Amino acid sequence: MKKFALYLIILALAFGGGMFLENIFANDAFKADADKKAEWTSASVKQSSIATTSSKESMTTKETTSSSSTAIASKSKENRTEKSVESSSVSTSKKTTKDTISKARDTKSSQATKETKETKETKTSVSTTQSSTQTTKERTKTAQPVQKKQSQAQTTTSSMQPVIQVAPKAELKALQTIQLQSQNEHFTNSNAAFAFRDLTPTVNHEQKVNHLYLTTNAVIYQNPSTKALKVADGAKYRGFTAISRKSVENEMGIWYQVAFPDTVIGWVQAKQTQNRNQDYYFYTTGGPKPNLALVEDLAIEVSIAKKRVYVKSGDQIIYTMLCQTARAGYETPTGHYQVNDYRATSFWSTFGGADYAVGWKDGGLYLFHSIDKATNEGPYVQSQGLKLGVTRIGTSHGCIQLAIEDAKWFYQQLPVGTPVSVF
């Protein structure tokens, strides 16, 4: 049988049937191959996540298969004269199918690459998220005890801190004002007069020495403003003559800084004073006087250079007053002496005369007394009086001259035997 079939084939080839057999075998083989490839392509396309590409490729595959089947059926029915057309159609179908398969492969490869990339990114993102979450948890665990410790520390510190009471604004302002200038500030601080500018804008008036009598209604302030604090014991200086070396002016008028005679007391308005520049030697120069009979360890010191007499209780100066000493050609003896028993309400000699004399050396030769009088009956020599307290000059023959009220006070109260030091 096989031999017979082989014979037929050879016969067919001999009579021109070779093309027919070739087409039959080719069509059968191609059909089988096309079916397998179409199934593989369809399966591959179905695995793609892109809906549009999968749909288009599936339709293309179906159309190709259908076209191939139609072409094969037509070739079987038609005569062998159409073999060339059928062969061309089959060739075209092969090419189309190969293109489709290639596209499917590319699509699958692209999709697989994309999926692989997305998978990696997803894994990386998940890994990063997990790592971040783990780090956050660790930080939270670490931070919790630290915060707890800080909270405990703050609670402990808060319980240890004292309660601070804030003073009212009025009290704070008062404290600031007190700090501006010390009540007992000496004249050597030239800037003391201008520490009050935060209270009232002020300008200099005149910088010269003035002797001012404080009236009975005078009010002494710590700074040149009625907004400032009053000097606590300022009323006791009323009726006394003070020295002013600074004066300023503001919207409230002219203010004088007053001292007795070197210790600054405060500021007083000009309208509460009377000028005593021409006769201040009549008045007390040190302010309110102590009762010398009550002073313990009483002693007197005289500074020739400063033209001052200091009343002391032990080592403490309790009163200061202006004085004058020997003029050129005469000498006030220096050293340590005692008050003797010589006293006179008035005296006159070839050297002149004065009132309220108290001897402290050689009987009545060296005295404390008032400024000189022009005659035994007076008046007082004004030129000498206006030099009380002025340094580098002298007016006496060696005695210690005082303002009239100060000399009278010594005459009345200075005990015999009181130590006197002159230097």
> What pairing do the DSSP bridges indicate for beta strands 298-303 and 419-422?
parallel
Spatial distance between the Cα atoms of 168 and 87, rounded to a whole number of angstroms:
115
Catalytic residue among 211, 323, 397, 399: 399
CB 258 within 8 A of CB 183: no
Catalytic residue among 211, 323, 369, 397: 369
Closest to 377 (Cα-Cα) out of 406, 352, 405: 352
Q: What angle do CA 294, 295, 300 make, to 5 degrees?
A: 135
Closest CA to 236 of 297, 284, 278: 284
Buried b (16+ CB within 10 A) or exposed e, 305-317: eebbbbbbbeeee
Query: Both tokens of residue 370?
Result: 């008032």
How far apart are the C-alpha atoms of 303 and 318, rounded to whole Å? 15
211 tagged catalytic:
no
3-state percent breakdown (helix, strand, coil) of the chain, nearest 5: 45, 25, 30
Tally the C-alpha atoms within 13 A of residue 265's C-alpha that lie toward its C-beta: 27
DSSP tag of 371? S
Helices (H) and strands (E) in the chain, counts: 7, 15
Burial letters for 123-154: b for 16+ Cβ neighbours within 10 Å, e otherwise? eeeeeeeeeeeeeeeeeeeeeeeeeeeeeeee
Which positions ≥6 away from 37 have C-beta within 8 Å? 97, 101
Using CB atoms within 10 Å of the CB of residue 94, give its burial: 0 to 12 exposed, 13 to 18 middle, 19+ buried. Answer: middle
Question: Using only C-alpha atoms, what is the Rg of the chain?
Answer: 64
- HSE at residue 249, side-chain half, CA atoms within 13 A, is 6
Indicate which residues carry an active-site annotation.
Answer: 369, 399
